[in-house]
Amino acid sequence: MTPLKNDRFLRALLRQPVDVTPVWMMRQAGRYLPEYRATRKKAGDFMALCKTPELACEVTLQPLDRFPLDAAILFSDILTIPDAMGLGLYFSEGEGPRFKSPVRTAQDVAALAVPDPEGELRYVMDAVRLIRSELHGRVPLIGFAGSPWTLATYMVEGAGTKEFAHIKRMLFDEPKVMHQLLDLLARAVTVYLNAQIAAGAQAVMVFDTWGGVLTPRDYKKFSLRYMEQIVRGLTREHEGRRVPVILFTKNGGQWLEAMAATGCDALGIDWTTDLADARRRVGDKVALQGNMDPSVLYASPARIRTEVETILASYGPGSGHVFNLGHGIHQHVNPDHAAAFVDAVHKLSTPYHV
Amino acid sequence: MTPLKNDRFLRALLRQPVDVTPVWMMRQAGRYLPEYRATRKKAGDFMALCKTPELACEVTLQPLDRFPLDAAILFSDILTIPDAMGLGLYFSEGEGPRFKSPVRTAQDVAALAVPDPEGELRYVMDAVRLIRSELHGRVPLIGFAGSPWTLATYMVEGAGTKEFAHIKRMLFDEPKVMHQLLDLLARAVTVYLNAQIAAGAQAVMVFDTWGGVLTPRDYKKFSLRYMEQIVRGLTREHEGRRVPVILFTKNGGQWLEAMAATGCDALGIDWTTDLADARRRVGDKVALQGNMDPSVLYASPARIRTEVETILASYGPGSGHVFNLGHGIHQHVNPDHAAAFVDAVHKLSTPYHV
């Protein structure tokens, strides 16, 4: 493999010295880019884009050609795993993801099996291998998966939801079935991420989009516990380098101490938590990734720079900070504003690394 | 006025001794009750129900006839104020509230005025007077309003939103205009709540449904600051009794200390914060109202009782706790489960008040 030309991102995740604060954007390959919309049109639909390694590679690299980002992230979807389990994933326009066969009963759960990452999910590993090769060592490649709890919400509800009625009924009334499903998903995510690492992913991130809809007690029992199981099962050294693991629970700001105790290397932080508080609370246990409100990218470039400066000052001097948005970039953002954001992070962070 | 027969709710908000923990449910007059659906059908649409004092009174009292609740809450909507400002509120089926004329520019903001609570909003005060009279002192009546920030989100977006693109662009790029709008709304909410108190409301609650989508810095500047302005301007004594003020920011669990410092009497707490932690953090400054996940009402009555017990134990012994859901009751809940919930709070809380 080609040696890495820019390893700021990996170094910051391990709290090793860097020259400037590294930066990438969640959903950086996405609809706000006209070149992405063109490739997506060529692919037909969203899942066709995910399932065609050449096209997934193409969109993964697009934002890197526009902006001096410090990491690439595999273009894929968290629902590849339930799709490979045979639940019949489809996207209905304007309504988000849906499953033809939601998982509702003990029998439904018993019928599920861990998918083979080099079988049903081989298209993901092929994309990782191709992207890694096409990157030619420019920046590290991030692999990812959804958290067991987050995957389970879609599998049990059968669609996006605001109320979480079906899965919470399962959680409260049939906790054994709920745990069986989550354990299966934790095993599936572990082999899936390890396969991504073997295929070339140099860091991995677990997205827990919906852990924040639980009580603190249930978050620990039904979401964090299974992310910890994944962290314990991951390959942490590959190609002679540590493979950092990032955990991100949206709206999880109240539980950072517990998240930091899982053995992961870094936490993703959304914008509802102050980075200075977060750093004080987790101490030197983990690095932090975040946390600009993605809506700031709707504001003027001057205002974007002010916000970047505020967040850099909030984290303070020293390594251990990867700059990012607190959630995915919105589709109506002007790409020039994203450029101003990336530029501001690099330019304004120099004084914090002397 | 008839003397109050049950003042547990008011006493708990002021942290005075009570026999059992008082309980009510956010959105207790609502679609989960068949009798509510019948009255709503009679009214025609949702706003007609709000604007007809006899029908608003009828649905306010319905849950009290079913369950031994310790408070009634005025049946109304937070959007009565922007509606009275002439923005043209309407509800499109399945899409939530919308405004014909959203507020987007400095000129739009300059054109707005504080509505007269006994003029355009007289129907609300008439409902308060009628309900108070029809209650015959059974339990106290709660008045309410939306927070300035929350009202502004609907007024600027013109509809419900997940991204908050328009209002955040205003907040980031035109903070002066944003502050003008919020100040006007704080003044409008203050006179509106004071008129409700004069008409007979015995406690008031400010609902900040969307404060939790802001950074900690912006929450303090653009939401909490205006709730504090309201708290300072409210009538705090009426009919020889203190009128308690409750502030509730959904997803505001990280900011309880700052909320408790506003001078309010109690904080509403959603289920993502542990009540033991919340109590420790706010000390003896305020009472706490909450915080069962409304989805627990989908579970069996036995499971509901276990959750009630857990939450009572979490708050611990002594007064200062009003039991409630962490958000509004869901429309598909079985009313018998709500009955089991109310009963469990009263029965299981006795040992905490000896």
Question: pLDDT per residue over B78-123, tens digit each?
Answer: 999 999 999 999 987 777 899 999 999 999 999 999 999 999 999 9
Assigned token pair, A264: 């992961």
Could A295 and B165 be called an inter-chain contact, meaning their C-beta atoms sit closer than 8 Å?
A: yes
Question: Which of B95, B249, B269, B298 should be substituted to probe chain A, the one whose Cβ sees the most A Cβ atoms within 10 Å?
Answer: B298
Asked if B296 is an interface residue toward chain A (Cβ–Cβ < 8 A), one would say yes
Among candidate residues B131, B28, B119, B134, the one with its CA nearest the CA of residue B80: B119
Q: What is the DSSP letter of A93?
A: T
Assigned token pair, B163: 């991204």
ipTM (interface pTM)? 0.94
Assigned token pair, B312: 């009572």
Among candidate residues A145, A155, A320, the one with its CA nearest the CA of residue A233: A145
B280 in catalytic set:
no
Contact B176, B217 (CB under 8 A): no
Q: pTM score, two decimals?
A: 0.96
Residues of chain B positioned with their CB less than 8 A from the CB of A213: 272
Question: What does the H/E/C string look like for chain B?
Answer: CCCCCCCHHHHHHCCCCCCCCCECCCCCCCCCCHHHHHHHHHHCCHHHHHHCHHHHHHHHHHHHHHCCCCCEECCCCCCHHHHHCCCCEEEECCCEEEECCCCCCHHHHHCCCCCCCCCCCHHHHHHHHHHHHHHCCCCCEEEEEECHHHHHHHHHHCECCCCCHHHHHHHHHCHHHHHHHHHHHHHHHHHHHHHHHHHCCCEEEEEECCHHHCCHHHHHHHHHHHHHHHHHHCCCEECCEECCEEEEECCCHHHHHHHHCCCCCEEEECCCCCHHHHHHHHCCCCEEEEEECHHHHHCCHHHHHHHHHHHHHHHCCCCCEEEEECCCCCCCCCHHHHHHHHHHHHHHHHHHHC
Asked if A95 is an interface residue toward chain B (Cβ–Cβ < 8 A), one would say no
Q: What per-residue confidence (pLDDT) applies to B162?
A: 86
Assigned token pair, A20: 């400037």
> For chains A and B, what is the number of CB pairs under 8 angstroms?
90
Q: What per-residue confidence (pLDDT) applies to A2?
A: 82
Q: What per-residue confidence (pLDDT) applies to A35?
A: 98
Q: What per-residue confidence (pLDDT) applies to A1?
A: 67
| pLDDT tier at A95, thresholds 50, 70, 90 | confident
The size of chain A, in residues, is 354
| pLDDT tier at A93, thresholds 50, 70, 90 | confident
Give residue B131's identity as a one-letter amino acid code.
I
DSSP string, A19-37: SS--B--TT-SSTTSHHHH
A245 forms beta bridges with A204
Which of B154, B192, B226, B315 is the catalytic position?
B154
Could B298 and A168 be called an inter-chain contact, meaning their C-beta atoms sit closer than 8 Å?
A: yes
Q: What per-residue confidence (pLDDT) applies to A216?
A: 97
Among candidate residues B178, B215, B219, B171, the one with its CA nearest the CA of residue A299: B171
Torsion-angle region of B320 (φ positive above 0: left; ψ -120 to 50: alpha; else: beta): left
Q: What is the DSSP letter of A52?
A: -
Neighbours of B29 (CB within 10 A): 25
Report how far apart the first and last C-alpha atoms of chain A are (Å, whole number): 32
Residue A182, CA distances (Å) to A81, A224, B298 in order: 13, 11, 21
Cα–Cα distance measured from residue B289 to residue B244, given in angstroms and rounded to the nearest whole number = 12
Higher pLDDT, A2 or A182: A182
Picking from B163, B296, B332, the nearest residue to A295 by CB comes out as B163
pLDDT digits (tens, 9 = 90+) for A329-348: 999 999 999 999 999 999 99
Question: Which of B272, B277, B279, B293 should be substituted to probe chain A, the one whose Cβ sees the most A Cβ atoms within 10 Å?
Answer: B272
Asked if B92 is an interface residue toward chain A (Cβ–Cβ < 8 A), one would say no
Q: What per-residue confidence (pLDDT) applies to B82?
A: 97
Neighbours of B156 (CB within 10 A): 25
Per-residue pLDDT of chain B in tens (354 residues, 90 and over written 9): 689 999 999 999 999 999 999 999 999 999 999 999 999 999 998 999 999 999 999 999 999 999 999 999 999 999 999 999 999 999 877 778 999 999 999 999 999 999 999 999 999 999 999 999 999 999 999 999 999 999 999 999 999 888 899 999 999 999 999 999 999 999 999 999 999 999 999 999 999 999 999 999 999 999 999 999 999 999 999 999 999 999 999 999 999 999 999 999 999 999 999 999 999 999 999 999 999 999 999 999 999 999 999 999 999 999 999 999 999 999 999 999 999 999 999 999 999 998
Residue A173, CA distances (Å) to A20, A110, A176, B274, B295 in order: 50, 17, 9, 21, 11
Q: What per-residue confidence (pLDDT) applies to A304?
A: 98
pLDDT digits (tens, 9 = 90+) for B274-323: 999 999 999 999 999 999 999 999 999 999 999 999 999 999 999 999 99
CB neighbour class for B163 (10 Å; exposed up to 12, middle 13-18, buried from 19): middle
Among candidate residues B344, B265, B262, the one with its CA nearest the CA of residue B307: B344
